[in-house]
Chains A and B, each alone.
Chain A
């Protein structure tokens, strides 16, 4: 069977049954009054992993982090770090450091003092401390700014100070709460790679919270997509993108077309469904749903082929009228109104600069896809 995505990873402790998890959430529940922020959640994260918690605001991802850092105690369930239970351990005794969404830089201290703060708490000697601070400043390229106060720095510089402060103590685990949320788009993209390099260089385990799917896809070894206090799916970026387990996950990451229908046939790894939009065959995980069940066919826009003639090589095809065309430079997005009335989106890579006869509005076209391009979801 072909592997998902284009990269083959050598680092994959989660698929090794003997690997010991570094962080373990065991049936953790957290309630605030009547509100359940985290609901009976279990999760393993491995050493040196770059793990992302992804979800909309209010899905419980920040609560999960705060429990790990020690600012919240689980209502039920247990948390382990490197085999040790964390219950009752106060934040200052946990070998975990956090980078706050607001950065939380101490406004009354210079950059160097901010970075040295945690080291001082540990009672590190002054010479060793100075050396570590210098090393950290170098790591985040802020050597000249050691004496500045946080309010004299730009947003990107502050972000780097916060990062340096959090890693200065060499924690076993670094927690990052929306680390790039306050930066503008261009800076965010640059910083993503800096964070990845830093994680590699220091050999730390990173656990990061974000609502930005692109950010999570770029940086993470694995992603957990969260929904209302539970984990909807855990997997590598490619798994999450190419083999989502539900419409929620498919829709949260990237764009997707979802068409409803009932199962009419199934064979090894594929299911054919039929609904008001037509008859489609897609891939399915494991056993596959029973005959007659209502399911959803999900397909990404870039996996659709657009043609004027009816394709001959596949049964998986549907006809419609072009409704909207958006030229984005690298690709062109077209919205197609199917004969059933549903609107689907297709993306075409613009291979060449000049096209003789581009597809235009109100033109009737065919959309087709291979049997492996789409997936059939039962929820």
Chain B
């Protein structure tokens, strides 16, 4: 009897917590996204209230509209923000892969006693503040920053490069911040891999490079996919990086949402943006979870 009660509590406490603090807020966002903007506090006219009777609700339901979504669709700014977010996230993901794969491959082939240290070195930056790591790049990428000083001193360039406040800086920031997310899944697939598979391929007539492509790279695909999604998904909704490193021309949806909310106090449009962002990300998220499930399945 007591056992049944404890069991139930174990489930119910976190369950209700998440229902109240995760699911319910979501429904509220959805509701507000469908509401009309009003000036006041809070700055929206609620379409429902929890005290309404059913009749009132159904009456109000008929008044619900997609006005805000229509507004988003009608305004180039929002559409461009979405497209630009996807573009920036995509390019950054590819760049992260180009740097992350050789790093993960090198780590997986390192002497066995060195690997735990290398692994820890990849994880360590992840524990230091995201904000700090992005901030660190400002001093490097500025017009009079360390990178330009260095390149000028080398004589590679004769006028400082404009990197900060452009999309280039945003790419660098995303690659830098999310590199561990790319390296870890790739490393773990490569590390598990049996070296004799590569040797078998070479024994059967592959050159070193052919064996790499036909065996190593092919078998690393699940890790690469997981890494790419782990970078791409959060990058799409990124706010700090485009805000601090990007310029006024850098459009990203997280930033647009922030501006709508904090600067323009347009809560209804902000909520609508959040809803669409979520819809955009549902596909890669579901894909990711399926890929994970498949990987677990294959691992068995």
A and B touch in the complex (CB under 8 A): yes
Binding site for B on A (CB under 8 A): 69-71, 90-92, 96-98, 100-102, 104-108, 117-118, 121-122, 151, 165-166, 169
**A-binding segment of B150-158, B179-187, B200-208, B249-257:** B200-208
Complex-state Cα separation, A122 to B210, whole angstroms: 13
B218 touches A104 (CB 8 A): no
Q: How many A-B residue pairs have CB under 8 A?
A: 60
**A-binding segment of B93-101, B121-129, B191-199, B269-277:** B191-199
B contact residues around A97 at 8 Å (CB): 203-204
A contact residues around B194 at 8 Å (CB): 102, 104
Chain A CB within 8 A of B29 CB: no
B contact residues around A105 at 8 Å (CB): 200
A91 touches B219 (CB 8 A): no
The 4 closest A-B pairs by CB, nearest first: A121-B205, A118-B204, A104-B200, A104-B196
Given contacts A92-B204, A106-B200, 6 further A-B contacts (CB under 8 A): A70-B202, A96-B203, A97-B203, A98-B200, A101-B196, A104-B200
Binding site for A on B (CB under 8 A): 194, 196-197, 199-208, 210, 215, 218-219, 298
* Contact among B200, B203, B205, B219 with A108 in the assembled complex (CB-CB below 8 Å): B219
Complex-state Cα separation, A322 to B202, whole angstroms: 58
Known: A104-B194, A108-B218, A108-B219. A118 touches B199 (CB 8 A): no
A102 to chain B, nearest CB (A): 5
Complex-state Cα separation, A165 to B210, whole angstroms: 18
B contact residues around A70 at 8 Å (CB): 202-203
The 22 sampled A-B contact pairs (Cβ below 8 Å) are A69-B203, A70-B202, A70-B203, A90-B202, A91-B202, A92-B202, A92-B204, A92-B205, A92-B207, A97-B203, A98-B199, A100-B199, A105-B200, A107-B197, A107-B219, A108-B219, A117-B204, A118-B204, A118-B205, A122-B205, A151-B298, A169-B204
Residue of B nearest to A169 (CB): B204
* Contact among A104, A151, A166 with B197 in the assembled complex (CB-CB below 8 Å): A104
Q: Interface of chain B, helix or strand or loop or mixed?
A: helix
Complex-state Cα separation, A117 to B197, whole angstroms: 12
B contact residues around A108 at 8 Å (CB): 218-219
Complex-state Cα separation, A100 to B197, whole angstroms: 9
Interface centre among B203, B207, B208 (most CB of A within 10 A): B203
Complex-state Cα separation, A64 to B207, whole angstroms: 22
A contact residues around B207 at 8 Å (CB): 90, 92
A104 touches B206 (CB 8 A): no
Residue of B nearest to A69 (CB): B203
Complex-state Cα separation, A151 to B299, whole angstroms: 10
Complex-state Cα separation, A102 to B200, whole angstroms: 10
B218 touches A91 (CB 8 A): no
A contact residues around B206 at 8 Å (CB): 92, 121
Complex-state Cα separation, A117 to B210, whole angstroms: 12
B200 touches A100 (CB 8 A): yes
Complex-state Cα separation, A90 to B211, whole angstroms: 13
B contact residues around A104 at 8 Å (CB): 194, 196-197, 199-200
Residue of A nearest to B202 (CB): A91
B199 touches A165 (CB 8 A): no
B197 touches A106 (CB 8 A): yes
B contact residues around A166 at 8 Å (CB): 203
Complex-state Cα separation, A165 to B205, whole angstroms: 12
Known: A106-B215, A107-B219. A100 touches B196 (CB 8 A): yes
